[in-house]
Amino acid sequence: MTATALLAVPNPNPHRPAPERIGSIDDVNKLALELDKAHLNVEPTCFASGNFSDVFAGTYTPPQSDGIDVAVKVLRIPGQANDSAELVERLGKHVGREVFVWQMVKHPRITPFIGYIRIYKDGIIPCIVTKRRQQGNLKAYLGKNPQADRFKLALEGLIYLHTFAGKSIIHFDIKPENILINDDGEAELCDFGYAKVLGGEPTGFTTSPNPGGTYPYMSPEVLNGSEWELLTPAADVFAMGSTILFVLSGKLAWYYVRSKAGLLGAVSNGIPAARDQYVLDGSPEAVDRLWELLERCWRLEPNNRPSSQEVLDELRAIEALGGVRPPSQTP
């Protein structure tokens, strides 16, 4: 599939039109499949954890099925709530936003969404169920497969975004940990907990004025608290730059900055990661063009960054020059 191919956003239930506004976990039923907990077998220990959830391996075996290896994302209780009704509302909005986005996107470079369970544990905690990838995420995969085609994986990580049937979806948490590797060694984007749909009806699922994210992948406008409505896909392009540098160097962007305050200062003031702190192998022209691309991705003004398509095109041009890789790798 070409990079310009549109990513389909079908209504998963053609007999139920998508509601104009939805703001509770009950409304997710109009869009996505609620699974039967009795058909889900989950291991007792999580294999991954995030800021708001734990992820468990499991098997989903609906009737007349051999079973599907799944990842079960179980939400944690977010902060303090004054009463159970408030807690239900907060949990519902958190899982609802992720389900709302993930159930829409059907693409080979997005980990398949299976469904959700509104009450998974403790009479209140919901979960999200997706296909499980045995190879793990991109960071873990590169650690186990140092000779993997890092440049190819970086390219594949850019195809997912920003052209969804006339709308854009901003992921807001692009990083190696949120790129999974399937059995064919192909990259898939996962985790839509911070995602935002542009150009569509309000969902009612917004839980905070700022989307969050992970250092050093958060853009200046996110760090500086720009209003949600003003954020654009350029925030993902910033994160793409940091992801590409990690994939091709094995080091985080700004890894040499030892304090959180120093990192925030560098990013918020548009100071790019220092080229002399990274050693990369490749032709002088390829390395020069890579750094020029990264610095464009990290520009302070969102409107001055390239589009995701432009990033992909330039990476392919760099690949045609022989690519860039860590110095320990041989072509």
Comparing 243 with 9, the larger pLDDT belongs to 243
Residue 129 phi/psi, 5-degree rounding, is -120, 125
Q: Is residue 163 part of a domain?
A: yes
Q: Is residue 13 part of a domain?
A: no
Whether 112 and 220 map to the same domain: the answer is no
Whether 106 and 177 map to the same domain: the answer is no
Whether 92 and 122 map to the same domain: the answer is yes
Whether 127 and 218 map to the same domain: the answer is no
Whether 39 and 121 map to the same domain: the answer is yes
What pTM did the predictor assign? 0.84
- pLDDT one-digit tens code per residue, 274-310: 999 999 999 999 999 999 999 999 999 999 999 988 9
Beta-carbon count within 10 A of 86 CB? 11
Whether 154 and 285 map to the same domain: the answer is yes
CATH number of the domain where residue 156 is located: 1.10.510.10
Alpha-carbon distances of 11 from 3, 31, 129, rounded to whole Å: 23, 7, 19
CATH number of the domain where residue 87 is located: 3.30.200.20
- pLDDT one-digit tens code per residue, 166-218: 677 889 999 999 999 998 888 899 999 888 888 655 455 554 545 668 999 99
**Per the structure, how many domains does the chain have?**
2
130, 147 contact by CB (below 8 A): no
pLDDT greater than 50 at residue 154:
yes
The residues with which 217 forms a beta bridge, in sequence order, are none
Q: pLDDT band for position 32 (50/70/90)?
A: low
Whether 289 and 155 map to the same domain: the answer is yes
- pLDDT one-digit tens code per residue, 131-148: 999 999 999 999 888 878
Whether 187 and 121 map to the same domain: the answer is no
Whether 85 and 165 map to the same domain: the answer is no
Q: What is the pLDDT of residue 20?
A: 38
Would you say how long the chain is, in residues? Answer: 331
- Tokens (6 digits) for 63: 């009737």
Q: Is residue 14 part of a domain?
A: no
Whether 124 and 187 map to the same domain: the answer is no
Q: Is residue 11 part of a domain?
A: no
Q: What is the DSSP string of 248-269?
A: HHSS-TTTT--SHHHHHHHHHT
Axis crossing angle, helix 308-320 with helix 284-297, rounded to the nearest 10: 170
- pLDDT one-digit tens code per residue, 86-133: 777 777 777 888 898 898 888 888 899 999 998 898 888 899 999 999
Whether 191 and 297 map to the same domain: the answer is yes
Question: Which of 131, 154, 172 is the endpoint of a domain?
Answer: 131
Question: Which of 87, 102, 131 is the endpoint of a domain?
Answer: 131
Q: Is residue 1 part of a domain?
A: no
Q: Is residue 301 part of a domain?
A: yes
Q: Is residue 282 part of a domain?
A: yes
Domain of 164 in residue numbering reads as 138-320
Whether 54 and 191 map to the same domain: the answer is no
Q: Is residue 92 part of a domain?
A: yes
Question: Which of 105, 131, 157 is the endpoint of a domain?
Answer: 131
Comparing 15 with 50, the larger pLDDT belongs to 50
